[in-house]
Amino acid sequence: MIKSMTGYGRGQNHVGDGAWVAELKTVNSRYLDFHLRLPTGLTALEERIKKFVSARLTRGRVSLSVAASGAVEAAPRLVLNRPLVREYRRVLEELRQELGVEQEPGLMPFLYNRDLILSQEEGPDPEALWGQLEPALAQALDELEAMRAAEGQALAEDLGARLEVVGRLFSEAAARSPQVVAGYQDRLRERIAFLTGDTEPDPQRLAMEVAVIADKADITEEAVRAASHLEQFKQFLLSSEPVGRKLDFLMQELNREANTMGSKTPDAEAGQTIVELKAELERIREQIQNVE
């Protein structure tokens, strides 16, 4: 069954006192388009994350947000700014000698100096981070694909019903073709009679004229090709593979057949049928823009 390109999924993986949380949102797009929001520590995993997601999604605008909840990331390590400490020691020693003070100063005032004690973050291990993040991503993808599959089923049902309408309209337009020719023949005979009085027109010449218009108004080929396209369309709706681009191509072909039939059909009733047909094809075209 086809899948929609619209969906949402959320995944979470608890690690220690915290958790990694991944949120995925997708909407329709002609190609696979990534928009990522990652914590600084996950920058090194950006390409790996894209590869992991693209293994399961082929089209759509993908918005992925990853956040760390609680104590997940490594705590920073405190280190001394040794060059500055040595300078403080030198100045304090000079001050002590200048004042003649024997007592060493306490350490507490120095601990409040942010320049003396630096926060040094440990470089994250990419493999360890990936092991923590992957389950959250997989869960988000599972939820996303479940939603896309459910919407895809609803799309398939709607499209199937619309295809029945399109097939009927194509058949109705094609069924008008013999009546169009017969009507033209009657109008031609009446026109000749009006111009020549009661003289009976030459049957052979009349047949030739009718044959020409019958050839021009014949839409059998278009109707046969349209039926073939519709059958392919129905088969694609049952496919589990991404078929959005194929459906888009078939829509172009169906529109081409409808336009050709419209140009060949001077009959008002058949023309109205073609108008309805093209309107229904446009509705289908809009729907398949969201098919993966």
SS (H, E, C) the chain: CCCECCEEEEEEEEECCEEEEEEEEEECCCCEEEEEECCHHHHHHHHHHHHHHHCCCCCEEEEEEEEEECCCCCCCEEEECHHHHHHHHHHHHHHHHHHCCCCCCCCHHHHCCCCCEEEECCCCCHHHHHHHHHHHHHHHHHHHHHHHHHHHHHHHHHHHHHHHHHHHHHHHHHHCHHHHHHHHHHHHHHHHHHHHCCCCCCHHHHHHHHHHHHHHHCCHHHHHHHHHHHHHHHHHHCCCCCCHHHHHHHHHHHHHHHHHHHHHCCCHHHHHHHHHHHHHHHHHHHHHCCEC
Q: pTM, whole model, 2 decimals?
A: 0.70
Q: Do residues 233 and 250 lie in contact, with contact meaning Cβ atoms separated by under 8 Å?
A: yes
Residue ranges of the chain with per-residue pLDDT less than 50? none
Token pair 């078939």 is found at 250
Neighbouring-strand partners of residue 17: none
Fold of 7-73+125-147: Ribosomal Protein S5; domain 2 (3.30.230)
Domain boundaries, the chain: 7-73+125-147, 77-120, 148-288
The mean pLDDT of the chain is: 82
pLDDT in tens, 141-185: 999 999 999 999 999 999 999 999 999 999 888 877 666 656 655
Q: Chain centroid to CA 270: how far?
A: 37
Amino acid 80: pLDDT: 72
Q: Are strands 18-27 and 77-80 parallel, antiparallel or unpaired?
A: unpaired
pLDDT in tens, 199-231: 566 666 656 665 556 556 667 788 889 999 999
| Domain 148-288 classification at class level | mainly alpha
